[in-house]
Copies of this chain bind each other. A is one copy, B any other.
Amino acid sequence: MTESTPLLRTAFRHFEPIATRWMDNDVYGHVNNVVYYAYFDTVINRYLIAEGGLDIHGSTAEGATIGLCVESHCRYMKPVAFPDDIDAGMKVAHLGRSSVRYEIGIFARSEPEASASGWFVHVFVDAKTRRSAPVPDRIRAALTRLT
């Protein structure tokens, strides 16, 4: 993807609205680069919880499986700023035995072209031992719907 090929909403399979916060803006008057990753983390985990049954509160229980981020990336094309409302688009680019790679697009509410795009890799692990574990069935089913 280069600057000449804009990233459109049609590239994504699931959307979550994101309400910006006062603190998201930095001294340069727009959402700080760091905060986009908080949007990524939020849209991904909301989906895993709602659709995949991820239990973040019982996360240290015997046998529970959680997703840990092992890599993330963001490219910033156009600024967004509080108090603008935005939408985060999400799709699954690769689903392996114990890992998943998401692609994310951040869109200003009324804009067809993404303001930022990123990706994010979860490795699923046993909550207690933190050793690699297969993607749980219900999460796999939910993620398959976004491929």
Measured CB to CB, the residues of A under 8 A from B are 17-19, 21-23, 25-29, 32-35, 37-39, 41-42, 45-46, 49-50, 56-57, 59-60, 66, 68-76, 81-83
Contact = CB atoms under 8 A, between A and B. Distances in A.
Contacts of A37: 33-34, 37
A18 B85 CA distance: 12
A2 to B, nearest CB: 13
Contact of A21 (B28, B42, B50, B66): B42
From A17, A42, A66, A75, residue with most partner B Cβ within 10 Å = A42
B34 A38 contact: yes
A46 B81 contact: no
